[in-house]
Amino acid sequence: MMAHHILRLAAIVAAVALLLPGATGYPWPFCGDSTFKANGTYQANLNVAAAALPKNASASPDLFATAVLGAVPEQLWAMGLCRGDINSTECFSCLTQAFQDLPNDCSYINNAVIYYDTCMLHYSINQLLPEDDGDGSWLTYGIPYNGNVTTDPGRFNQLVAVLVNATADYAAHNSSRRFATGEADFDQEFPKVYSLAQCTPGMRPARCRKCLAGLVTNWLESLENNIRGSILWVNCTCRYDVTPFFNGPAMVRLPSPIPSAPAPALTPAVPPAAAGEGGRKYSVAGVVLAVVLSTLAALILVACVCFWRRRPRAPAKQPCIYPSPTLLSNFTASDLQITYTADLCTDPMYSTEADDMEMADSMMMDFSTLRAATGDFDKSNKLGEGGFGAVYKGVLPDGDEIAVKRLSQSSTQGVEELKNELALVAKLKHRNLVRLVGICLEQQERLLVYEFVPNRSLDLILFDTEKREQLDWGQRYRIINGVARGLRYLHEDSQFRVVHRDLKASNILLDANMNPKISDFGLARIFERDQTQGVTGRIVGTLSVYSCLRQNSELINEPGYTAPEYAMRGKYSVKSDAFSFGVMVLEIVTGRSCNDWNSAGTRSQDLLSTVWEHWDAGTATATIDPCLGGGNFPVGQVLRCIHIGLLCVQGDPAARPVLSSVVMMLGSDTMTLQAPSKPE
């Protein structure tokens, strides 16, 4: 995903540089590609937001406000943020101007953003995630200007890197507005360099720092040698300039680098005989005493070190993500004596226990509230039953609909799964993952509160002979694409590397527009970045290809979603998730469950064998769901999905594609696909 963003960024930056030679000012509008109808519901929602949001943001201590108006599919999400050093009057004026300019610059576009010197406005038909750090969200833009450093540009670039990173640290950790400004001395040509960093208020420190680090590490090189630059995401921004552009004194101050002291010259050792010639003479007793005292001092020092190492210590803080050591070879934070007081940030790739506690506290909900929302967990509100408890629909006092997962009190095994799901889902943000909105741990109750997804799970529609007619090919293809993108995010693009381990149709939820959301992370596992597989003695998930079912006193194999290496040897990896995805793709194309049983109660030929036999015989179109209709779909695209599904269910994990490759296959009609092998 990031590589795709970089390619898009390069084209946009080049276009801006060509179209605006010498331009140094705002505004900068960026438009999406989907539209809304003139004088329609979305337009009315936009007008309401234009009247309310500038007032709300300018009245907020954080100079920030959001708005959600209307209902799907014409629902509008809007976000306005002003720079942290301006006053409320300036904030109101800037956002009011933004609501006038952006609809003109992006005429009838329902997903657009505009940046000004002192504010930004973003509105969209899709939900805006305030904790999103850029993974799966709007693209990033780096804006260069004409005007380069002519003397010692390498040293200038290094100073900018350190200054912007130091400012980002302060914004993330030492500012309630998630805002900071910085200043550094440079040379006679440009005596000062100024910087600014800002995140959406409310972002946790580690998330804010990760967002800013993504800007700095990915886009700073595109601004090399420029005397000013702006690096923009919807939820975080960085900026630097050689002229002042913010109000008030800088919050971070970097003075001129302190010259390194020359190393002392090495003095040759003086032989004892030479020391005796006119030099000071030492007695044997004095030498012995000196040796004894030195040894005693060394022993005391060792004892102190051992004591210090044995004492309880807080977890060590990890340094912030900085540019490469080569880039910072001449400037370091210690050499520049940064004068901000914020703590060193932890590694943005992993949140700390304190961050987890902060996150958990902010998401806590009262049991009484959830009990009232679900009608005391009334059966009429029950959406389904999972392996560790039931899920209920609820309505909060403000009208928001929720889904409440209530862990069974008799289920001791499910406690760890619940904790695992909480730790994972709260930190994963993607449009194709179900969103966690709250938790409840009181009165021996353990509940997770999710966004309500009105169309429930894919299996309830796909495997119902009547309901699946609602799913035309366009919707099915969108579901396949969405699940693939969600898995790619889990495997490659998120702050963790996550293996889901329980991907199946019943764990794919569908929103009002039939967009898929992957759910149920109780069995998911985090991988280290260089880890390729894990091993477990406990096989979990839906019945596997090699799982056993006792029937007529015999054990028989039942087809399912679980990869053979996982079912037989407990080995799981991103390739076992790919297998499950492939099974689901074939289910979506055929409209048939992988665990089909005929009316007599005996197992019919499994799905994978059926599809493979037709593929091998050149009759794959015979497996397409009859509910799709004769020719009301692009046959080539459907066959390509069957091809991709078969590639994913190959017996050899190494032969299965990774999800980033799957997304590319789905997005290109010209990309050549390898021939699949027979599923084992």
CA torsion angle 239 158 16 19 (round to 10): 120
Q: Per the CATH hierarchy, to which homologous superfamily does domain 144-258+321-347 belong?
A: Gnk2 domain, C-X8-C-X2-C motif (3.30.430.20)
Q: Say how far apart CA 362 and CA 373 lie, in whole Å.
A: 19
User: In this structure, are residues 48 and 97 in contact, taking their beta carbons and an 8 Å threshold?
Assistant: no
Burial (Cβ within 10 Å: 0-12, 13-18, ≥19) of residue 601: exposed
Question: For residue 671, what pLDDT is reported?
Answer: 79
Look up residue 228 and give its two tokens: 């000013």
Angstrom distance (rounded) from CA 260 to CA 106: 53
Cα torsion through 353, 355, 356, 357, rounded to 10? 90
Whole-angstrom distance, CA of residue 634 vs CA of residue 639: 9
Classified as helix, coil or strand, 359 is helix
Q: In whole angstroms, what is the distance from residue 680 CA to residue 672 CA?
A: 24
* Closest-CA residue to 92 (of 60, 68, 130, 137): 60
Say which residue the tokens 């700073």 belong to: 220
Please state, in angstroms and rounded to a whole number, the distance separating the CA atoms of residues 394 and 366.
Answer: 14
Radius of gyration of the chain (CA): 30
Task: Determine the Cα–Cα distance for residues 566 and 536; give it in Å rounded to an integer.
Answer: 9
In 10 A of CB 151, how many CB atoms? 11
Distance between CA atoms of 520 and 497, rounded to whole angstroms? Answer: 16
Amino acid at 591: G
Cβ-count burial 366-396 (b if 16+ within 10 Å, e if not): eeeebbebbeebeeebebeebebbbbbbbeb
Query: Which one, of 675, 677, 661, 668, lies nearest residue 1 by Cα?
Result: 661
Cα 630–chain centre separation: 41
- Rounded Cα gap, residues 506 and 508, in angstroms: 6
Active-site amino acid positions:
502
* Residues found in the chain: 680
Q: Which amino acid is at 17?
A: A
Domains 2-142 and 144-258+321-347 share a fold: yes
* 419 appears as a binding residue in the annotation: no
Rounded distance, CA 576 to CA 500, Å?
A: 9
Query: Which class in CATH covers the domain with range 2-142?
Result: alpha beta
**What letter would DSSP give residue 597?**
B
Q: What residues of the chain score a pLDDT lower than 70?
A: 1-25, 128-147, 149-150, 174-176, 217-222, 255-362, 386-388, 409-426, 443, 494-496, 522-560, 566-570, 596-605, 630-631
Provide the 8-state DSSP code for 130.
T
The H or E element containing residue 242 is none
Name the residue ranges covered by the structural domains of the chain. 2-142, 144-258+321-347, 354-451, 458-667
Nearest to 426 by CA among 504, 511, 524: 524
Cα–Cα distance between 524 and 659 in angstroms, integer?
A: 16
For residue 338, what pLDDT is reported?
42
Show Cβ contacts of residue 127 under 8 Å, excluding neighbours closer than 6 positions: 77, 431, 435
208 neighbors 199 (Cβ within 8 angstroms): yes
Helix or strand holding residue 176 (H, E) = none
**In this structure, what DSSP letter does residue 545 have?**
T
Number of H helices, E strands in the chain: 18, 24
- 429 contacts: CB under 8 Å, gap ≥ 6: 129, 131, 132, 133, 135, 136, 435
pTM of the model: 0.49
DSSP code of residue 651: S
Q: Does domain 354-451 have CATH number 3.50.50.60?
A: no
Distance, first Cα to last Cα, the chain: 32
- Note the pLDDT tens digit of each residue in 356-413: 445 555 677 889 999 999 999 999 999 887 666 789 999 998 888 999 988 776 655 4
Which pLDDT belongs to residue 476?
A: 96
Q: What is the DSSP string of 45-76?
A: HHHHHHHHHHHHHHHSTTSEEEEEES-TTS-E
DSSP letter, residue 489? I
Question: What pLDDT does residue 3 have?
Answer: 34
Is the Cβ–Cβ distance between 498 and 490 less than 8 Å? Answer: yes
- Homologous superfamily in CATH for domain 458-667: Transferase(Phosphotransferase) domain 1 (1.10.510.10)
